[in-house]
């Protein structure tokens, strides 16, 4: 999700939270609509929840609680930082500290190496961390005239050599899916 | 020496390393050193019992020869020399974060 969508979702989730809490406190009679709402328009909407019958009140509170939980969950999911392992690869750790590289940088390197092989039209690559090294998954769109097995092998070797050389860590697997059609927008799995 | 001035010295030391394209100034790294009259993004300085703990974010330059651990080692050496040169105290830790590769 890009940053704009993420910010939009956070704003909507916060609006949902504020609205649900306001409706709940008015429904329970903890605050008057005039106290809970800063604006006239919102106050008029809240008026409808003041003085509900007991059964309606119960249902309103249950729905509000569910919306509050949903809002909290959405905010949590969007604002929590991804675990460091998701974004960065550890290259070295010694007495002086850690050396890490952004996963995207390594993926860019893999894409560059694959793209330099003649006959490769498009490349997607994803790097995964494993206990004994890195695993690289990729998808290639290739020229129909090329020798597919030879090209796949060359790309695999180039990616493996480049990533191992630049990271100084072993690459255990390079798995490539090759196709003649242009790559669609699906991510590498 | 102020942290801001020290961060500028460290940034210059990082940029002087051949395998480095630049200090990474991406706002989402969260690393920055602030002071009167400015800020240096990409470098965070913590002083712990008179020693320095540093977080440095950089963009490495892609070359066919240099490996990223080699670049990081050169960055650490360059920072240690620069910090010693301004007598800013012992360096206890340098975490090097390579945020991107400049493919040129």
Summarised one tens digit per residue, pLDDT across range B4-42 is 999 999 999 999 999 999 999 876 667 889 988 889 999
Q: What is the CA radius of gyration of chain B?
A: 13
Query: Using one digit for the tens of pLDDT, what is the confidence trace for B67-102?
Result: 999 999 999 999 999 999 998 889 999 999 999 888
pTM: 0.68
Q: What is the pLDDT of residue B7?
A: 94
Q: What is the CA radius of gyration of chain A?
A: 27
Tell me how far apart the alpha carbons of residues A65 and A25 are, in angstroms, rounded to a whole number.
Answer: 11
Tell me how far apart the alpha carbons of residues B43 and B10 are, in angstroms, rounded to a whole number.
Answer: 8
Q: What is the pLDDT of residue B9?
A: 96
User: For testing the chain B interface, which of A6, A97, A116 should be mutated: the one with the most B CBs within 10 Å?
Assistant: A97
| CA distance to A12, A13, A25, A55, per residue, from A49 (Å) | 22, 21, 9, 12
- A158 vs B contacts (CB less than 8 Å): none
Query: Using one digit for the tens of pLDDT, what is the confidence trace for B43-75?
Result: 999 998 889 999 999 999 988 788 999 999 999
Tell me how far apart the alpha carbons of residues A88 and B30 are, in angstroms, rounded to a whole number.
Answer: 15
Q: Are B46 and B74 in contact (CB under 8 A)?
A: no
* First and final C-alpha spacing in chain B: 36
Tell me how far apart the alpha carbons of residues A115 and B62 are, in angstroms, rounded to a whole number.
Answer: 15
Give the SS3 label for residue B46.
strand
Tell me how far apart the alpha carbons of residues A123 and B36 are, in angstroms, rounded to a whole number.
Answer: 47
Residues of chain B that touch chain A, judged by Cβ-Cβ distance less than 8 Å: 60, 62, 67-70, 72, 76, 91, 93-101, 103
Q: Indicate the angle between helix axes A148-167 and A103-115, nearest 10 degrees.
A: 140
Q: How far is A166 from chain B (nearest CA, A)?
A: 4
- The contacts of residue A110 (CB under 8 Å, 6+ apart) are A123, A125, A127, A136, A138, A159, A162, A163
Q: How far is A108 from chain B (nearest CA, A)?
A: 8
Q: How many CB atoms lie within 10 A of CB B55?
A: 21
Contact: A105, B100; criterion CB under 8 Å: yes
Per-residue pLDDT tens, chain A, 189 aa: give them.
556 778 888 899 999 999 999 999 999 888 888 888 877 888 888 888 888 888 888 999 999 999 999 999 988 888 876 655 568 888 889 999 999 999 888 988 899 988 888 888 888 888 887 777 788 998 888 888 888 889 989 999 999 999 998 888 888 889 988 888 777 655 555
Q: What is the pLDDT of residue A7?
A: 85
Q: What is the pLDDT of residue B96?
A: 96
Q: What is the pLDDT of residue B50?
A: 84
The ipTM (two decimal places) reads: 0.92
| CA distance to B5, B21, B91, per residue, from B17 (Å) | 19, 9, 18
């Amino acid at each position: 999700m890009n940053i704009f969508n993420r910010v939009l979702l956070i704003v909507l989730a916060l609006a949902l939270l504020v609205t649900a809490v306001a409706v709940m406190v008015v429904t329970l009679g903890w605050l008057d609509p005039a106290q809970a709402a800063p604006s006239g328009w919102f106050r008029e909407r809240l008026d409808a929840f003041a003085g509900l019958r007991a059964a309606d009140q119960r249902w309103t509170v249950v729905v509000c609680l569910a919306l509050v939980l949903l809002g909290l969950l959405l905010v949590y999911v969007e604002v929590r930082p991804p675990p460091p392992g998701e974004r960065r690869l550890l290259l070295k750790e010694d007495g002086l500290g850690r050396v890490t590289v952004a996963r995207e940088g390594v993926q860019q390197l893999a894409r560059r190496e694959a793209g330099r092989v003649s006959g490769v039209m498009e490349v997607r690559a994803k790097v995964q961390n494993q206990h004994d090294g890195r695993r690289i998954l990729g998808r290639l769109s290739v020229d129909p005239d090329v020798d597919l097995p030879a090209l796949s092998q060359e790309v695999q070797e180039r990616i493996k050599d480049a990533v191992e050389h630049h990271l100084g860590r072993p690459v255990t697997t390079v798995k490539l899916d090759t196709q003649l059609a242009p790559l669609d927008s699906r991510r590498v799995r | 020496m102020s942290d801001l001035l020290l961060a500028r010295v460290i940034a210059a030391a990082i940029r002087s390393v051949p395998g480095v394209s630049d200090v990474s100034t991406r706002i989402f790294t969260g690393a920055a050193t602030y002071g009167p009259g400015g800020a240096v993004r990409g470098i965070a300085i913590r002083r712990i019992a008179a020693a320095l703990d540093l977080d440095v974010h950089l963009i490495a330059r892609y070359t066919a020869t240099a490996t990223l651990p080699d670049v990081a080692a050169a960055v650490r050496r360059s920072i240690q020399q620069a910090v010693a040169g301004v007598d800013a105290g012992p360096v206890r830790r340098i975490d090097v974060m390579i945020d991107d590769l400049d493919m040129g």
